[in-house]
Chains A and B, each alone.
Chain A
């Protein structure tokens, strides 16, 4: 009996020692959000997209700052306002040995809008294309129904499958691994829903060879547990480092931390649509009020001046944010060079309120999600307190995001806190979703829960969205931002989130603006 115990203990210690000396070319990564499907066209969701890009590739690739780089396409150019020519990369092979050609792209684009039961499809990215043909095996000619300058950006979202897979594979074939055939730097070994994804290096890959032969993604949704797993050495890298632990981890000699400002802005939307009886606008003593002061740009600017962004960023975000003055950080395409974060100015705010006819303020309720953005509930609390202190008594109501977004889209709020990530990596994304006049058919103002509307902004945006020339379009987008945010304060920008990764000391990750976690961009430190 005793001997068996000793033997078992010995085996345990041995396996422990083996566990520690895992192979140097292996990498285990702790993910914060579970991958829900391996089908690259089934659910447009960050963890799925991020994982998919290990196995599949897109025509256009976004680098860590979301600038466009050649991917499976070597080059692309607009021939005229409606036609594009895409040159494909030569000598690329799928995991099954087939050559990559224009036919694969055509078959993939055909599949994208037709994935059954998809809760969030990628159809949006291929819808502008009305005609697609292969000029030769490595040249594609695309035609759009109207000028569509964002075509290259859209091509950065669609992962390419071989024709044979695109024509036959169902979503379950990807989850079982059968259809996981791409051109990417890794092949799928195993997928256990909600638990792990295991990958193996594709040694036939044409691009830079990844440093890790075997990669294992573990889903560890609890943030403190993720940090513990890193410190215990069970994983060598984690994403979504909780803000409270960053200071401690930065000092830890076993760990290195990398962060980058993301494409997500946190902002306040105000009801600028309803002329009167906005549901949560009251007098200072909480009685219903007929007039809607939020329609006045001066009042919206006053709200902006009442908030000390620097303090929110340093205290609540522990430095993991950057105060915002427009819709995207300045280095992104189409941003304004003149807009700066509003300074904390309670006096100026008072003056503006008086000018607008509300010298004694009015009452508001701020609605915010409490599980969607980094520290969202605490930020909302700080905003409500700043406003209350400076003449707009503000109540706060936070709720889970599933309730929040449903109610927000039904316009049940007067004043709300939300965030927007610019997937395309340029300014037209937040402009058209948050500040364009709501137009269901045109797909404009889809997240404009304040119903801000200004014909000048709409005109500039519409023009920009059909201007192929990048320089001209950039200027138009910047002007639209100047007008919508700078002049009219259609929303109050608070800050841009910073995304953070932590790795063991002997490796480094180039932090990305799009929050994707790529094993192939994690390198051993020199």
Chain B
């Protein structure tokens, strides 16, 4: 087990190195940050000054080398726009994104699994059909449109919830979180629902498909034949077996919700990382983009590792200790 985790982490380092080269090179090809950052009326003296101030006057491989040297000391460079360490800029926004993603996933899982179970166990009932029809909508309606409709209905027409922004924050374990107080939760509700909708549909459909497949298998029949209560058959035997694909998907989706909440963040003016990285790409703020992608890649790898570890708990046949591959 320990060896396994160690090996996985060493692979991580390689992936991070490759990512940094790709992003660095890619942004270099996109354009010259100085052209975007300086005032359009700036003359050559000002452009050269800005290039020197940002370290852009050196050849690209030297810039990369400087970056790598810094990276080993935990410094991924200073943001061009904010003149602060890129990681600091990202981590400052991270709690906002994390809490939104977390709330969205909670909504998706808490509603999705029971609804999917129901639809899978009683596929013919009208309620199940309604659930499935709803999930198709959740899948196919574009997020930005749903977000705007939510704002129009709940903020503009009904006036129940605030239209945009993040509510007051309270400190929790050193993080500034807004979902721990009632007022903050009101602000978070619409964006979280908007973000959850797609994941919710996904989980409903996946759960239903799994339930339909598994409930025909012998072990379920056997459990029933043995005289176990329906509750136990579903709650213990069935649920445990459908959890494996679900955990994989939930894990990956959690990652993608954190990394790509940008549409929702933009519409609801939620001050998270997604909005930051889009702005940074437009302004060619390379240190922030590179640092962000490294953080995201690292996060994905970590989530995958956790998912793999969860497998071994859920399915005793999976052994992680001595994988020969």
Contacts and interface: CB of A to CB of B under 8 A. Distances in A.
Contact of B163 (A34, A229, A400): A229
B148 interface: yes
Interface string B19-49: 0000000000011111111111111111001
Interface string A89-126: 00000000000000000000000000011111101100
Given A117-B54, A228-B164, A124 B31 contact: no
Interface stretch (A7-15, A64-72, A287-295, A470-478): A7-15
Interface in B256-292: 266-269, 271, 275-276, 279, 281-284
Interface string B153-164: 001100110111
Interface string B120-152: 000000000000000000000000000110011
Contacts of B78: 117
A446 interface: yes
Contact of A120 (B39, B45, B267): B39
Interface stretch (B79-87, B108-116, B199-207, B229-237): B79-87
A171 interface: yes
Contact of B159 (A218, A233, A402): A233
Interface string A208-241: 0000000000111110111011011110000000
A123 B43 CA distance: 10
Contacts, number: 178
Contacts of A164: none
Interface stretch (A133-141, A271-279, A405-413, A487-495): A405-413
Most buried by B among A119, A224, A228, A401: A119
Interface stretch (A36-44, A374-382, A511-519): A36-44
Nearest to A444: B43
A447 B41 CA distance: 8
B212 interface: no
Given A117-B53, A119-B38, A228-B148, A218 B269 contact: yes
B283 A124 contact: no
Nearest to B269: A220
A53 B16 CA distance: 43
B182 interface: yes
A423 interface: yes
A402 B282 contact: yes
A203 interface: no
B208 interface: no
Contacts of A172: 83-84
A419 to B, nearest CB: 9
A30 to B, nearest CB: 8
A440 interface: yes
Given A120-B50, A172-B84, A402-B283, A222 B266 contact: yes
A172 to B, nearest CB: 7
B46 A123 contact: yes
Nearest to A119: B37
Given A37-B83, A121-B50, A234-B163, A228 B156 contact: yes
B41 A12 contact: no
A401 B93 CA distance: 25
B57 interface: no
A11 B182 contact: yes
Contact of B83 (A117, A232, A429): A117
A228 B152 contact: yes
B92 interface: yes
Contacts of B147: 225
A373 interface: no
A441 B44 contact: yes
B61 to A, nearest CB: 20
B151 A232 contact: yes
A404 to B, nearest CB: 8
Given A121-B46, A172-B84, A443-B44, A44 B39 contact: yes
A123 to B, nearest CB: 6
Contacts of A400: 282
A193 interface: yes
A74 B170 CA distance: 47
A432 to B, nearest CB: 8
Given A16-B160, A42-B83, A402-B30, A123 B49 contact: yes
Contacts of A119: 33-34, 37-38, 50, 53-54, 80-81, 83
Interface string B66-84: 0000000000001011111
A206 B244 CA distance: 69
Interface residues of B, number: 58
B183 interface: yes
Interface in A173-228: 192-196, 218-222, 224-226, 228
Interface string A3-40: 00000100110011001100000000010001011000
A132 interface: no
A116 B276 CA distance: 23
A12 B165 contact: no
B31 A402 contact: yes
Most buried by B among A8, A124, A225, A233: A225
A76 interface: no
A196 B30 CA distance: 30
Contacts of B164: 30, 218, 220, 225-226, 228-229, 234
B51 to A, nearest CB: 10
A358 interface: no
A332 interface: no
A423 B41 CA distance: 9
B155 A234 contact: yes
B35 A406 contact: yes
A463 interface: no
A226 B38 CA distance: 27
Most buried by B among A36, A407, A441: A36
A43 B81 contact: yes
Interface string A415-439: 0000011010000010001000000
A314 interface: no
A250 interface: no
28 contacts: A15-B186, A20-B159, A42-B83, A117-B80, A119-B38, A119-B80, A119-B83, A120-B37, A123-B49, A171-B83, A172-B83, A193-B93, A218-B269, A225-B267, A229-B155, A229-B163, A229-B164, A229-B165, A234-B155, A234-B162, A234-B163, A402-B35, A402-B281, A402-B284, A406-B30, A409-B35, A443-B43, A446-B41
Given A124-B42, A233-B159, 8 more contacts: A12-B186, A16-B159, A117-B53, A193-B271, A225-B163, A371-B282, A401-B36, A423-B39
Interface of B: 30-46, 49-50, 53-54, 78, 80-84, 89, 92-93, 147-148, 151-152, 155-156, 159-160, 162-166, 182-183, 186, 266-269, 271, 275-276, 279, 281-284
The 3 closest A-B pairs by CB, nearest first: A443-B43, A406-B31, A195-B271
